[in-house]
Structure 1
C-alpha cells in the first residue's frame, strides 16, 4: 500500500462514517512518518483503522471498505475496522501519533488519521508476534527508520504481562543483533 492509497482509505472512511478523525494502528501507519518507506514495509494491502470519537463504528468501515467489499475489489486494498485495543503499543502512544491530513470527500473539510509512531508500531507488531511482524521490525531497523535504543526503552511500557514483555524484548534484541546492532 502506498501513501496515496492510505490517504484514499482515510477519505473513503470519512465518507463511510461521516466522520473526520481516525486512528491507524496497523503496519501502514508507517506511511504517516515515512511517506516513502521502503517497499519491504509496504507489503500489506490493508489499513487497520477506527473512528477516533466512536471506535464502535469501525464495523461500518469494515462493511464499506473491508476485505471482499466492492472497494477492495475495485482498488486492490482495503480497510479493516479495528478498535483502540487492537494495538498493544507502549504507554503514551496516543501522545506520539503522527497525523495524516486529507480533504474530506463530500464536505471539503479536512479528515485526519493519526497513525502510530514507528517505535510504537514496531513494538505493537512484535507483541502480535507473527513472522511478518518480525520481518517488518527487521526492515524498519535495517532502513534506519527505527532506533534500537528507543525500542528497548519502550518495552517496559507495553500493556502486556511481564512474560510477554520479556518475549518481546528478547525478540527485539535478536533482530537488532541480526541487522548488526544498529
Structure 2
C-alpha cells in the first residue's frame, strides 16, 4: 500500500476540515432567516446596498441573533483559509498525477482554489466590517455582492472538481 504524502495529508485534513466548518455554518444559517433575509447570511452577502444591509442587520438585531451573525461571519473568515488551502493542496496533488486529464483538472482546481480564497476574503471582510460597525456601507455592500457569485462559482469548481479527481484517481488505481 502506498504511503500518504504530506501534500495528501494536508489536502484531506484541510479540505475536510473546511467542509466540516461549512456544515456548521449551514446548520447555523436558519437562525438568520426571516422575512427580511429569507436566505439568511447569503442575503447579507449579496445585499448590494447599505440600505439593504441595514435592514437585514436590524432584523437580526430584533431577533436577538446579531452577535451570533458576527460570530458566523468571523467563523467564515477561518473557514475560507482552511478550505481554500485544502482545495489548493488537493489541486496540486492531482496536478502531479500520471494521467493528463487528472493533471489538467488538478491545475483547474488550483486556480479555482486561489480564486475562492481571494474572492471569499474580499466578500467576507466587507461583510465583517459592516456587521461589526452595525452600519451598512454602499461601497462594501457592492464589493461583497460583486465577489459573492465569483466566490460561489469557484467554490463549486473546487468542490466538484475534487470529487471528480478523486473518482478518476480511484478508477485509475483499480485498472492498474
Scaled by the length of structure 2, the TM-score of the pair is: 0.26
The structure whose residues are more often strand, as a share, is 1
Structure (1 or 2) with the larger CA radius of gyration: 2
Q: Which has the higher helix share?
A: 2
TM-score with structure 1 setting the length: 0.26
Higher relative contact order (CA 8 A, sep 6+): 2
